[in-house]
Amino acid sequence: MNTGSDEPGEVVVAADKARTDRQKAGQTGHGAGDGLGSRAPEFIKARRLLHLSWQVGVFVVGLAVVVAGIVMLPLPGPGWVVIFGGMAIWATEFVWAQLVLRWTKRKVTEAAQRALDPRVRRRNITLTVIGLVIVAGLAGIYVSKFGLVMPWKIKDQ
């Protein structure tokens, strides 16, 4: 807080000045040197209208990629990979996308660490073997009852 005065307006001015100083130094309000913020070239960031146009272009391209990924979810194609690619495009310009990507990376890393835990691996292997035994048993019952005939070719037997 500004200790030089008790006026609330001066505190706001001091906070705005500190924010402006951080922006000039290339820092955001999320901590110094944490890499958040626009990655546009300096000559683009120096001109407000050009930077706004740049941000709109990045948003539109990222949106097109994310929409293509969403379309690929039910259709053939790497839907989630494309969606995260669109998020990475957005993250070149927008702090919110950078934070979402960081959170996602952290969660994926945690899930990978949990999956590598020997107890979890044993449990997953055991459940997979049990599932395969059940499927093999059902297939055996089907073959013993109907033979090697496809289900759509079975007539009243």
Mean pLDDT calculated for residue range 34-62: 81
Mean pLDDT calculated for residue range 38-62: 83
Angstrom CA distances, 150 to 64, 137, 141, 153, 155, stand at 43, 17, 14, 5, 10
> Based on C-alpha coordinates, what's the Rg of the chain?
28
d(CA 25, CA 48): 17
d(CA 23, CA 64): 30
CB-CB contact of 135 with 142 (8 Å): no
d(CA 83, CA 73): 9
d(CA 104, CA 31): 20
pTM for this entry: 0.51
pLDDT for 23 equals 52
Q: For residue range 67-95, list pLDDT tens digits in order.
A: 999 999 998 888 889 998 999 899 888 88
d(CA 49, CA 156): 74
Return the higher-pLDDT residue of 14 and 134. Answer: 134
CB-CB contact of 44 with 51 (8 Å): yes
